[in-house]
Structure 1
Amino acid sequence: MIKKLSILRIFYVRLLIPAVIASLLMCFSLGFSAGNFGLCFLLFLPCLHFLIYELRFRNEYYFYANFGLSRLFLWIFTCSLSILVNSITKFL
């Protein structure tokens, strides 16, 4: 279990940092609010997942598959995480 969490951390370090930075930049241009940040994060995280892991580092899915994390699971987790952050920021 701990090994899978550390593998997920490796996966999301490459996604979360650019997604947060891009969301903050877009949010500041739209007028900063928590709701705007959540909406931008909802849009940027899946887009960055697609750009980074589907186009640029396509073969890294094999690395994650060796640890029992399928492509479908990673996509579902990415979309769930972006929806969760968006839902949390809507109530702030």
Structure 2
Amino acid sequence: MIKSFKILWIFYFKILIPAVLFSLLIAFQTGFNVDNFGLGFLLLFPLFHYFIYELRLKNEYYFYANFGFSRLFLWILTLSLSLIINIMTKFL
């Protein structure tokens, strides 16, 4: 169980930092609002997933598949996490 979380952390760490930074940049450009950050994160998190893992590092999917994480599972988790964070920012 802990091993799975570590593997997922490795996967999402490459996406999380640029998504948060660019979401903050968008939020500051539009007058900082938590809703703007959430919307930017909702759009950028899956976009960075696509750019990093579908275009740039295609072969890393094999690494995650060896640990039991399919490409579909990783995409569903990415979309779910971005939606959850967007919903959480709506209530702040």
TM-score (norm 2): 0.99
Q: Which residue does 1:68 correspond to in 2?
A: 68
Could you say what the CA RMSD is over the residues aligned between the two structures, in angstroms?
Answer: 0.4
Where do 1:49-60 residues align within 5 Å? 49-60=49-60
Tell me, in whole angstroms, the C-alpha distance in 1 between the residues paired with 2:70 and 2:51. 18
Aligned length: 92
Letter in 1 for 2:38: G
Structure 1 residue 45: Cα displacement: 0.2
Mapped to 2, the partners of 1:31 and 1:79 lie a distance apart of: 26
How far apart, in 2, do the equivalents of 1:21 and 1:70 lie? 27
> Aligned residue for 2:37?
37
Gaps spanning 5+ residues in structure 2: where? none
1:15 matched to 2:30? The reply is: no
Determine whether 1:28 maps to 2:28.
Answer: yes
> What are the superposed Cα offsets for residues 27-83 of structure 1, whole Å, 9 maximum, x if unpaired?
100111110100000000000000000000000000000000000000000000000
Whichever residue aligns with residue 54 of structure 1, its letter is: E
Q: AA paired with 1:17? A: I
Q: Given the two structures, how large is their TM-score scaled by the length of structure 1? A: 0.99
Please give the secondary structure, in 1, of the residue aligned with 2:23.
helix
Aligned partners of 1:78, 1:47: CA distance in 2, in Å?
10
Where do 5+ consecutive residues of structure 1 fail to align? none
Please say if 1:5 is aligned against 2:5: yes
